[in-house]
Structure 1
Amino acid sequence: MGDDELAELRRRRMEEMRQQQMGPGAAEAEMERRNEAEAQIRTILTQILEPEARERLNTIRMTKPEFARAVEQQLVMLAQSGRVKSRISDAQLKQLLSQLVPQKKDFNITRR
């Protein structure tokens, strides 16, 4: 079992334990609150992203959901702080993504 799988199992188990402690009504309220927050994020992203940029973000969400969530949070924070003056184009989103992705180190091994 990989570290990612183990972490996901732990997260699920902790969530189950939290829901059992809260009771049935609290779990439903938590889900409703979470759905409301996601709807607000989607609304803000629709307002600040052009369609091409939104498509790119959706593609990223399918391959790297955690990274996409981090990018969405960053974009929402920029919008709420008033730093976004106009809609973000696909080129601008690419530039933002290149800044957020950690640079990979390249190793060259030469044999003698």
Structure 2
Amino acid sequence: MSDLDEIRQKRMAELQAQQAAMQNQAQQQAVAQAQQQEAQRQMEAQKKQILNQIMTPEARARLANLKLTKPELVSQIEIQLIQSAQAGSLRGKVTDDQLKVLLRNIAGQKREIKITRK
């Protein structure tokens, strides 16, 4: 019986070590995820601050409305505006009319697929 008890104790120790390792890994993943979320929040706050500086309130409102329907397009436009501002190619704040022109240009770049049957 003592051999059986030793085997049980060893197996129990192994299981406890595995469980401790899994808990440690889960904690590390949770910390990494929290850090990633915090970095994402900081980037979003920074992006919002830059956009507030380079856009008029009307243009920001248009972009916010558009974000509800086409978030990918808005993200692309935001990146383009921020890059333009950092490059120094923007003169003054981006107005609503300028944003409309930019939207038309970007929307016009997409290819239309036409299917013809013979």
Look up the match of 1:14.
Answer: none
Unaligned runs of 5+ in 1: 1-19
Instruction: In structure 2, give the amino acid aligned to 1:94.
Output: K
| TM superposition score normalised by structure 1 | 0.72
More displaced, 47-56 or 96-105?
Answer: 96-105
Rg (Cα) greater in structure: 2
Look up the match of 1:48.
Answer: 54
Look up the match of 2:8.
Answer: none
Look up the match of 1:90.
Answer: 96
Look up the match of 1:13.
Answer: none
With over 3 angstroms needed to count, the CA separation of the structure-2 counterparts of 1:31 and 1:98, relative to structure 1, is same
Unaligned runs of 5+ in 2: 1-25
Percent of aligned positions that are identical: 35
Once the 2 structures are TM-superposed, how far is the Cα of residue 85 of structure 1 from its aligned partner? 1.6
| TM superposition score normalised by structure 2 | 0.68
Of 35, 40, 50, 1:29 maps to: 35
| Greater percentage in helix | 2
Secondary structure in 1 matching 2:65: helix
1:61-104 C-alpha deviation (Å, 9 max, x unpaired): 00001111111111111111111120011000101111111356
Secondary structure in 1 matching 2:59: helix
Look up the match of 1:70.
Answer: 76
- Separation of aligned partners in 1, 2:98 and 2:35: 37
- Separation of aligned partners in 1, 2:87 and 2:99: 18
Report the number of matched residues. 90
Root mean square deviation of aligned Cα? 2.2
